[in-house]
Amino acid sequence: MPVGVKICGITDATGFDTAAQAGARWIGFVFFERSPRNIAPRAAAALSARMTGGPERIGLFVKPDDIAIERVLDTVPLDGLQVYAPQQRAMEIRQRFGLPVWRAVGIESRADLPVHAAPDRLVIESRPPAGSTRPGGNARQFDWSLTQGWKSPVPWMLAGGLTPENVGRAIALSGAEAVDVSSGVESAPGVKSAALIRAFIAAASGVPTPQG
Ligand SMILES: O=C(O)c1ccccc1N[C@@H]1O[C@H](COP(=O)(O)O)[C@@H](O)[C@H]1O
């Protein structure tokens, strides 16, 4: 099975079309005002409508209340919700909206890796640097060997500071079967580069998953 790739923080047609054509399994829309990748629901809906099928559309939310998610879902059909929220709240969101929920977890050591209950997928990434205004999208790596041998309770993906140059090594060291990137495929914060998206997907796809 090829490594699954999510290109997150899509804000324009070039990013959307390139990610879809290059074989991204997921694309992410960031609904978080403090992010340089923040997108208005109507703009996300217009991008999503460029193609029927293609990558699954994932909406990213930070500590969202139900109204924030409802407002987006009223405008953009999404295939899943990536949330920065405690475990209990992530489960409530899944119950309330009936969509797959991915929970993002920032780690520093093996002890931070979830082992029990989880929603549908875990996004394992680095903790944000002190003073950061956002919990992810900081181009920050963690020690990829921390996830070696970890038995995740649900499918998971590796995120944080990935680039076309390092993603192969990151997959090999971490054992990840899917990867998520935002900053590493940008020419400036919030501006996706078609060339970097293509290079990232090619590099990630060239690495066999741990199961072969
Ligand atoms: O991309 C953002 O601006 C963002 C804002 C708030 C929460 C998460 C965000 N991005 C996610 O963070 C990880 C790692 O991103 P990066 O490749 O290090 O930039 C990834 O899941 C992004 O989707």
- Is pLDDT above 50 for 185? yes
CB atoms within 10 A of CB 104: 23
Q: In this predicted model, which residue has the larger pLDDT, 89 or 209?
A: 89
- Is pLDDT above 50 for 81? yes
Is residue 212 very low, low, confident or very high in pLDDT (cuts 50, 70, 90)? very low
Per-residue model confidence as pLDDT tens digits over 6-17: 999 999 999 999
**Least confident window among 24-28, 48-52, 116-120, 131-135:** 116-120
| Domain assignment of residue 13, yes or no | yes
| Domain assignment of residue 171, yes or no | yes
| Domain assignment of residue 212, yes or no | no
Ligand 1: centre distance to CA 139 (Å): 8
The mean pLDDT of 175-181, rounded to a whole number, is 97
Ligand 1: centre distance to CA 142 (Å): 14
| Domain assignment of residue 211, yes or no | no
For 58, the token pair is: 């994932």
Rounded to an integer, what distance in angstroms lies between the CA atom of residue 118 and that of residue 93? 12
The mean pLDDT of 48-70, rounded to a whole number, is 97
pLDDT at res. 209: 52
Domain holding 31: CATH number?
A: 3.20.20.70
| Domain assignment of residue 187, yes or no | yes
- Is pLDDT above 60 for 179? yes
Find out whether the beta carbon of 62 lies less than 6 Å from any atom of ligand 1: yes
Q: How far is CA 128 from the centre of its chain?
A: 15
| Domain assignment of residue 158, yes or no | yes
Per-residue model confidence as pLDDT tens digits over 112-163: 999 887 799 999 999 998 889 899 989 999 999 999 989 999 999 999 999 9
Ligand 1: centre distance to CA 136 (Å): 4
Find out whether the beta carbon of 135 lies less than 6 Å from any atom of ligand 1: yes
Q: Which residues of 37-73 are buried (b: 16+ CB within 10 A; e: fewer)?
A: bbbebeebbebbeeeeebbbbbbbbbebeeeebeebe
Based on the structure, what is the number of domains in the chain? 1
What is the interface pTM, i.e. ipTM, of the complex?
A: 0.97
Find out whether the beta carbon of 125 lies less than 6 Å from any atom of ligand 1: yes
Ligand 1: centre distance to CA 178 (Å): 15
Q: What is the mean pLDDT of the chain?
A: 94
| Domain assignment of residue 210, yes or no | no
Find out whether the beta carbon of 167 lies less than 6 Å from any atom of ligand 1: no
Does the CA dihedral 189-195-199-201 come out positive or negative?
A: positive
Q: Which of 27, 133, 182 to mutate to test the pocket of ligand 1 (most atoms within 8 A of CB)?
A: 182
Q: Which domain holds residue 75?
A: 4-205
| Domain assignment of residue 11, yes or no | yes
The mean pLDDT of 83-109, rounded to a whole number, is 96
Q: What is the pTM of this model?
A: 0.95
